[in-house]
Structure 1
Amino acid sequence: MEYKRYPEHLVFGLDIGTRSVVGTVGYRENNNNFVVVAQYMKEHETRAMIDGQIHDITKVADVIRAVKIQLEQQVGRKLTDVCIAAAGRILKTVAVKADYEFPSETVVNEEHIHSLDLIGVEKAYDTIRAELESDHIHYYCVGYSVIRYYLNDYTILKLEGHKANKISTELIATFLPDEVVDGLYAAVEKADLQVANLTLEPIAAINIAIPDKFRLLNIALVDVGAGTSDISITKDGSITAYGMIPYAGDEITEAIVQKYLVVFNEAEAMKTACLRKKNITFKDIMGIKHKITSQEVLESIDDTIRKITKSIADKIIELNGGKPVSAVFVVGGGGKITGFAGSLAEYLGLSYERVALRGEEVLQEITFLQEKIKKDPLLVTPIGICLNFYDQKNNFIFVNVNGERIKLYDNNKLTIVDAALQVGFPNEKLFPRRGKTIHYTINGTKRMVRGELGEASVVKRNGEVVGLSHPIELNDRIEIIESTKGSDAVYMVSQLPEYSGTISIIFNGKTIQCPKFVLANKKLVSGFYNIQDNDEIEILNYYTLEQILEFMDLEYKETILVNNMTASLEDKIYENFSIEYELPEDAFEEEYASSQEEMNPAAQCIKDIPAESMGNSNNNIHNLQTEPSSGIRDMYIIVNGESVKLSKKKNYIFVDIFDFYPFNLSTLGGSKLITTINGEPAEFTSPLKDGDVVELYWKS
C-alpha cells in the first residue's frame, strides 16, 4: 500500500444501507469545500440487513471490512475511525395528548409550557414501550413536534399569558431504539473500526440538501430510497419530526414488472432509462423483444407515482401539525423519476418550484478526485455523514446524572430535563409537590384547603445550581435532588370564617354570648376539630332551649317565655331571641357569670362532645405554633426596591415571593411577566438566597 499525503485530516464515512454499504473518504478544504478522495460501494450478499436494522452482525461486518480494505488501498493509509448513521426508517414515532391541571386558575408561563411538553414526551415514551410490549428496550428521544395546544379544552395557538385551569398538548415524538445503535456499533467494531461520530441519515442528508440559511424555514426533506421514503421536518433551525412510508422506488419498478412482464432487474433498467432515452428496447419473460417510448413507460407508472406521492404528502402534513410545509427537497434515487416532484407538489398544494429534486446543485461545493463519479442525489447521504463529523452535532454524547453515566442523542437543544427523562427520573419529582388537599362542604357549599407546596428539586450542573431548562453538554456532571412534598393541609373548625363570632341571646334582659355549635358528619365537634377530607361541616345558627338551660344549670319551668311566648325544650333559639326565666336576682347573677365562662369559645364548654372529637388541646396548639421546625429559617431579599422577609421554609424559590409580596397574578397586567434575580432572567423554580435583588413586573 503506497502511502499518500493529503493537505488535511481524512474523514471516513459509511452509509450502511439495507442493500449496500457505501464508503466515502475525504477532507474539508478552506472550511467550505469538501474533497472526496475515494468512494466505494459493495452490496450485501445476503439479507443481513432488513429495513435499516442489522440482523446478522457478522455478515454486515464482513461487508464493512471489504469496503474498508478497498478504500485503504485507494487512499494509501490505514483507516481506524469511521462516521456512521442510523437509518431514518427504524425511528419510532408516536402521537399523544397530554394534560396539565392547575390547582386553581393560573396565568400560563414558559415554565408551565415546558413542563407540559415534558409530560407529553414522557407519555409518548411510555406509549411506545407499551405498544412494543417490552420494558427491556431503551429509546432515545431524537425530536418532538407540537401539533396543537389547548386552553381549557379549546384549541389555541399560543398558551403563554392566558389564564387557565387546564392546559393540554397534542404532540408527535420520535424515538431511536437503543438496540439499533448497539447493532451498528457492534458491526463496525467487528470490522476493526471505532465509531468517531454517529448521526441519523435524515440529518446527514439535510447537511447537504438544506443549507444553514434555509433551516429556520419550515421545510420537509424526503429521501426516496428503494424500499422506503424517509421524511424529516425542519423548523426554527432544528429537525422537529421524522416519519416514513413503506413505498419508494421498488414500488415503481414492480409496476413496470406487472405491466410489461419483465424481470425485476430489467424493469429497474427501464425505469432509469426513462431519464435519458426517448425509446426503450427490452425483452419480456417470453423472450419477445419490444420497443416503446419512455413516455409510454411513464404513463404506465403514473398511478403508482401518485399513490406514493399522496402517501408522502399526507405524512408530511401529519408530521407538521396538520398543515403543509413551505417547501420540499427530494433526494435519493427513487425520487428522480419524471413527474414525481410535480405530483408531490400537487398533493401538498404547493407550486411546482417549491418541490425540488436536490442532487448536482447541492453538491457544488463537493469535489471528486475520481473522475467517473457523477454528482447524483444518491450521494447526498454518504457525503452528509462525513460532513457531520466537522459539526459534531446531532451525535450521541455522554453525561453523568447522579453518578450514572448515560448516553443522550444531542439534538442541539438538550436540557437538564432531557437527561432526567433518559435516566428515568420521575417527572413528578422534578417539580414541587403539594401536600394532600382537604375537600369538604360547609353548610352544603363545596370548599377545599390546599396542602403546602414542597421544595423544588435542586439541580446542579458541574457544581453550579441551575434551572431545569438549562442547556447541557458533553461530559457534564449533573446532580438532581428530588423535589419534596409539602405538608398536608390542616384546617380547624375555628379557622372557618363562619365560625367567627357568637350567637347573642338575651336572658332576663342581659346579653349572653354563646359559641356556635358545629356538626361534622352529623356529630357535634369543637372549634379544635381538624377537618378531614370529604367532611360535611354544618355550623348551626341556633341553640335549643334545652341546651341553653343545661349550660346555665337551670331546670325547665313551664313559665319560661321565649320572645314573650311559652316554649318547649325543643324550641330553637336564634340570634337576639329573648328568654324570660323566673330566678332570684342574686342567683341569676351567679348563673350568668358562670354561663359566660362556660360559653367562652376557647373553653371546653360543650360537655356533650365526645373526647375524641375535641382534636388538639390548647396546649397542643400552643406547642405547634411556638416550637420551631428543624432547618426553618428567615430570609431577606429586595423585591422591586422593597425589603421583603421570607419565612417558615428551609429553602426558597422564586414562586415563594408571592406568599410575602403583594403582586396580582390573577389579572394580566401586560404582554409578558418579567422575572429577574440579580439582573438575570429567572424561572418560577429558580432558587433564592439572602440579599438577592428581584425584579417582578408586567411588560407592556
Structure 2
Amino acid sequence: MENKRYPEHLVYGLDIGTRSIVGTVGYRDNSNQFLVVAQCVREHETRAMMDGQIHDIGKVAETILSVTRELEKQTDCKLTEVCIAAAGRVLKTVTVDAEYEFPSETTVNEEHIHSLDLIGVEKAYETLRSDMQEDKINFYCVGYSVIHYYLNGYTIGKLEGHKANRIGTKLLATFLPDEVIDGLYSAVERAGLQVANLTLEPIAAINVAIPEKFRLLNIAMVDVGAGTSDISITKDGSIIAYGMIPSAGDEITEAIVQTYLVEFKAAETIKLSCLKKKKITYKDIMGLSHKITTEEVIENVSEAVRKITKSIAERIIKLNGDKAVSAVFVVGGGGKIPGFITSLAEYLGLQKDRVALRGEEVLGEVTFLQEGIKKDPLLVTPIGICLNFYDQSNNFIFVHVNGERVKLYDNNKLSIVDAAIQIGFPNEKLFPRRGKALEFTINGSKRMARGELGEAALVKLNGEVTGISHRIEQNDKIEIIESTVGRAAEVEVGKLPEYKSTITFVLNDKHISCPKFVEVNGELVSEFYKIKDGDDIQIRNYYTLGQILEFMDLPFRDNILVNHVVAAKDEKVYENFNIQYPIKDEYTYTENQFDDSFEDTRDENLSYNIEEKIADVTPSQVAEVMAAELKTPVVERTGVTNDIYVSINREPIKLSGKEKYIFVDVFDFYPFDLTKAGGSELIITLNGEKTDFTHPIKDSDIIELYWKN
C-alpha cells in the first residue's frame, strides 16, 4: 500500500455498518496529524446486514469491492490490506479481580505483572465459558483493559519496581464469537483484501471521541449506528465498561416506513432529509406524491427516538454501577436526528448541555485533503478504525498446539502461554505444581508444611525446547507437556523448629542429655516419626523422675533429690534441673565423711555402674560422667507444705517442705556459698528489685543472686 505521491504509508480503514460501508484512506504525518486522502461511502443494495451482523457475505463483499475500487481510483494506488472493526452487538465483556501472592516480599517486575494479567484473563475465560456453556459458542479474547492494579490490597497506578507480598488487578476482558470473526474475514477476503488490523467499533470510536486526558471523568460514549448503539464508559483514567443495545437508526427508519407507507430506502432518504431540509417530498408505495415538513417527521418518529434513548440510558446506568454518568458524547449517524440528545439527557437526568454530538470537536487532529467533506459524528468511527492501526497493528493468526489448530487474535505480544489459554490448557499445569501440603497442630497451634515444587511444563516451539513466554508467529507448531506435581510434604518430628533433640539434666553434678518426649495423637513417638495430615502433636519439655530412671536403667531409690529436695517418682524434671542419685540407700553424707575407704564401703551387690550408664546414654555428648557424692543434707518435711518454683539466675528451682518461704530459704535449695566472698558486694534482687533475706517469696518469682566486683 505504498504510493510515491504520499510521503507516508497509507492506511485503509473500513467501517462495515448495517446501512452502509465507509472507506477511508490516509496517513499520519510527523506532527501526529492524520491526513485523509480519500473517502467513499456506499450503501448496501439490500439488507445484507442487520443489527451489525453480516447475513449475506457475498453482497457485503460486493459493496466492499466497490468501495475499494473507488478509493484506488482516487488514490491511484493498489489497496491490498485493510483495517476493520467488529460491531459491539456481539461483544462479550467480563470484569474480574485476580491476585497473586508471593512466598515472601518481592520486588515486582514486568514478568510478574504479565503473569498477573494472564491469571485475570484466564479467570475471565472461565467465567465466560461457565456462562455460555449451553450455547456451545467459541469465544476469542480480543483484548483487555486494566481498570486498577493493587499493591498489598491498596490501589496503585503502576506496580513495577514496588516491593510487595501480594499484587492484584481488576481488568475488563473483551471477547468475540467465532462466527463474527469468520464472517468479517470471509467478506473482506472475497473482495481481494487481507485484514491488517481488527478492532472493536466501540474501541475505535472512544479512542477518538474521548481522548485519554478526559478519561479521569465518568463519561459515556454512545456510537449510534443503523443496527446497534455501542456504549463505552470511562472513569478514573480507564475504560471500565463496554455495552450495546440492538436498537439504533433503523428503528427510526422503520417508524417512517410504517407512518408514510414507503419502502425502507425511501424512508432512509426522508430521515436524512430532516437534517438539511424544512420540507420533504416523497412517493408512497401506491405511487402518490406527498409533501411533509421536517417537524411532522420528527413528531412521528419521536416515540421511536424515546424508546431507543430510554434503552440507551438504562444500559448506561447499569454499566455504570446503577447510577448516571457525568456526561455523554454521541457519535454516529443515528444520533443526528433532532430530539435524540435531548431525550437521552432527560432519561439520564442530566442537563441538556451534558449530552452532546461529537464530530468536529474531536477531529481536530484530522485533516481532509478532499474538498467538500464536513467533519461529522458519522466519521468518528471510520477515522478511529484507521488510527487504531498505529496504536495496535493486529490480526488473527493460526498456530498448532498439541496437534490442534488454534486461531489467536494477534496483538503483537502473543506468546506460547496465550495459545495455551486459548485451547483451555489449565494455567496451573504450565507452572511447577506443589505436592500435597501437610496440616497438623503443635501444642495447639496450627501448622502447615508445603509440598515440594514439581517441574515446569516442557514446552517446544517448532521442535526446540523453549519457555512459555516465547513469542509466537503464524503457523508455529507448539507442543506442551504439562508440569509435574512435586513430592507431598514430609516432615519428621525431629525437623520441627520447636523440637530440640534432647533435654539436658544434671545428674550427680554431671550433665546428661535425654531424648525429648513427643506425643502424637496421645502416643509417644521418636524424633524420626513422619508426621501425617491432621496429627495433633504435643512436645513435652519435661521428664518425670521415673522416666529418667527408666531411661538410665536405674532403679528408683529412696532419698533421690531433685533440686535438693526429696522427690517422688512422678516428679516433673525440666531442662537443667539437678538430680542427685544416692550411691547407697543407708548413706547420709557430709563432706567430712568422705575418705579413702569410700569405694570399699559401697554395696558389693550393686550390679550397675552409674558412670557407665550415663556414658551409654549419650556417648556423643558426654565424654566422662562421674558419679558424685551427695553434699546437701536432706530437707525434712513436717506439717503443712507448699511446693513452689522460682527462677534463680535463670535456673528453675523447686522450693519444698514449708508452708511459706522467705528469701533466706533459697540457700537451702540453691548452691551458693555465702562463707566465701566472691566480690565486694552481694547482690540479691527479687523480680528486678533489690531485696533482703527476710522478704517473702512466692511461686514464679524471679531471683538474681551474685557477687559484684
TM-score, scaled to structure 1 = 0.65
Q: Report the counterpart of residue 609 of structure 2 in structure 1.
A: 590
3-state SS, counterpart of residue 186 of structure 1: helix
Letter in 1 for 2:334: G
1:81–1:502 distance in 2 versus 1, CA, 3 Å: closer
2: CA distance, partners of 1:551 / 1:385: 86
Q: Report the counterpart of residue 395 of structure 2 in structure 1.
A: 396
Letter in 1 for 2:363: V
3-state SS, counterpart of residue 310 of structure 2: helix
Residues 360 and 377, structure 1, Cα contact 8 Å, conserved in 2: no
Compute the displacement of 1:448 (Å).
3.0
2: CA distance, partners of 1:212 / 1:158: 15
1:63–1:35 distance in 2 versus 1, CA, 3 Å: closer
Q: Report the counterpart of residue 551 of structure 1 in structure 2.
A: 551
1:460–1:309 distance in 2 versus 1, CA, 3 Å: same
1: CA distance, partners of 2:461 / 2:218: 33
2: CA distance, partners of 1:65 / 1:316: 38
Q: Report the counterpart of residue 363 of structure 2 in structure 1.
A: 362
Q: Which consecutive unaligned segments of at least 5 residues does structure 2 have?
A: 585-601, 623-709
Compute the displacement of 1:125 (Å).
0.9
What are the superposed Cα offsets for residues 416-463 of structure 1, whole Å, 9 maximum, x if unpaired? 754553465543355555554433222112223344566778999999
For the pair 1:40 / 2:42, whether they are aligned, the reply is yes
Q: Which consecutive unaligned segments of at least 5 residues does structure 1 have?
A: 604-700
Compute the displacement of 1:499 (Å).
2.5
How many residue pairs align between the two structures?
587
What are the superposed Cα offsets for residues 84-115 of structure 1, whole Å, 9 maximum, x if unpaired? 43223222112233343455677777655543
1: CA distance, partners of 2:621 / 2:418: 55
For the pair 1:129 / 2:132, whether they are aligned, the reply is no
Q: Report the counterpart of residue 441 of structure 1 in structure 2.
A: 441
Residues 560 and 582, structure 1, Cα contact 8 Å, conserved in 2: no
Give 1:362-511 correspondences, 5 Å limit: 362=363, 365-368=367-370, 376-382=376-382, 385=385, 391=390, 393-396=392-395, 398=397, 407-411=407-411, 418=418, 421-422=421-422, 424=424, 426-429=426-429, 431=431, 433-451=433-451, 488-500=488-500, 502-505=502-505, 507=507, 511=511
Letter in 2 for 1:335: G
Q: Greater relative contact order (Cα 8 A, min sep 6): structure 1 or 2?
A: 1
Letter in 1 for 2:314: S
1:284–1:174 distance in 2 versus 1, CA, 3 Å: same
What are the superposed Cα offsets for residues 341-396 of structure 1, whole Å, 9 maximum, x if unpaired? 46657849699378442169739623447x7x76644344456556666x483421
Residues 82 and 197, structure 1, Cα contact 8 Å, conserved in 2: yes
Q: Report the counterpart of residue 608 of structure 1 in structure 2.
A: none
Compute the displacement of 1:129 (Å).
1.9
Letter in 2 for 1:593: E
Letter in 2 for 1:496: L
3-state SS, counterpart of residue 43 of structure 1: coil
Residues 87 and 201, structure 1, Cα contact 8 Å, conserved in 2: yes
Residues 437 and 489, structure 1, Cα contact 8 Å, conserved in 2: yes
For the pair 1:185 / 2:194, whether they are aligned, the reply is no
Letter in 1 for 2:616: E
Give 1:277-288 correspondences, 5 Å limit: 277-278=277-278
1:401–1:220 distance in 2 versus 1, CA, 3 Å: farther
Q: Report the counterpart of residue 579 of structure 2 in structure 1.
A: 578
For the pair 1:307 / 2:310, whether they are aligned, the reply is yes
Q: Report the counterpart of residue 670 of structure 2 in structure 1.
A: none
Q: Report the counterpart of residue 527 of structure 2 in structure 1.
A: 527
1:425–1:203 distance in 2 versus 1, CA, 3 Å: same
Residues 144 and 241, structure 1, Cα contact 8 Å, conserved in 2: no
Give 1:145-184 correspondences, 5 Å limit: 145-148=145-148, 156-157=155-156, 160=159, 168-184=168-184
1: CA distance, partners of 2:105 / 2:239: 34
For the pair 1:24 / 2:33, whether they are aligned, the reply is no
For the pair 1:539 / 2:542, whether they are aligned, the reply is no
2: CA distance, partners of 1:592 / 1:333: 105
Residues 275 and 338, structure 2, Cα contact 8 Å, conserved in 1: yes
Compute the displacement of 1:210 (Å).
6.7
Letter in 1 for 2:295: T
For the pair 1:247 / 2:247, whether they are aligned, the reply is yes
More displaced stretch, 543-552 vs 554-563: 554-563
Letter in 2 for 1:200: L
1:33–1:335 distance in 2 versus 1, CA, 3 Å: same
1: CA distance, partners of 2:534 / 2:469: 38
What are the superposed Cα offsets for residues 291-347 of structure 1, whole Å, 9 maximum, x if unpaired? 68367568766744651452354366369xx9958x754321111123544665784
TM-score, scaled to structure 2 = 0.64
Give 1:619-638 correspondences, 5 Å limit: none
1: CA distance, partners of 2:529 / 2:312: 71
Residues 174 and 241, structure 1, Cα contact 8 Å, conserved in 2: no
Residues 329 and 358, structure 1, Cα contact 8 Å, conserved in 2: no
What are the superposed Cα offsets for residues 561-606 of structure 1, whole Å, 9 maximum, x if unpaired? 77755745x5654442636456556848724422442356999xxx
2: CA distance, partners of 1:10 / 1:566: 101
Compute the displacement of 1:244 (Å).
1.7
Q: Report the counterpart of residue 140 of structure 2 in structure 1.
A: 140
3-state SS, counterpart of residue 293 of structure 1: helix
1: CA distance, partners of 2:410 / 2:485: 32
1:7–1:236 distance in 2 versus 1, CA, 3 Å: farther
CA RMSD of aligned residues (A): 5.5
Percentage of matched positions with identical amino acids: 58
3-state SS, counterpart of residue 314 of structure 2: helix
Compute the displacement of 1:230 (Å).
1.4
Residues 313 and 348, structure 1, Cα contact 8 Å, conserved in 2: no
Residues 400 and 406, structure 2, Cα contact 8 Å, conserved in 1: yes
Compute the displacement of 1:157 (Å).
4.9
Give 1:205-244 correspondences, 5 Å limit: 205=205, 221-232=221-232, 242-244=242-244
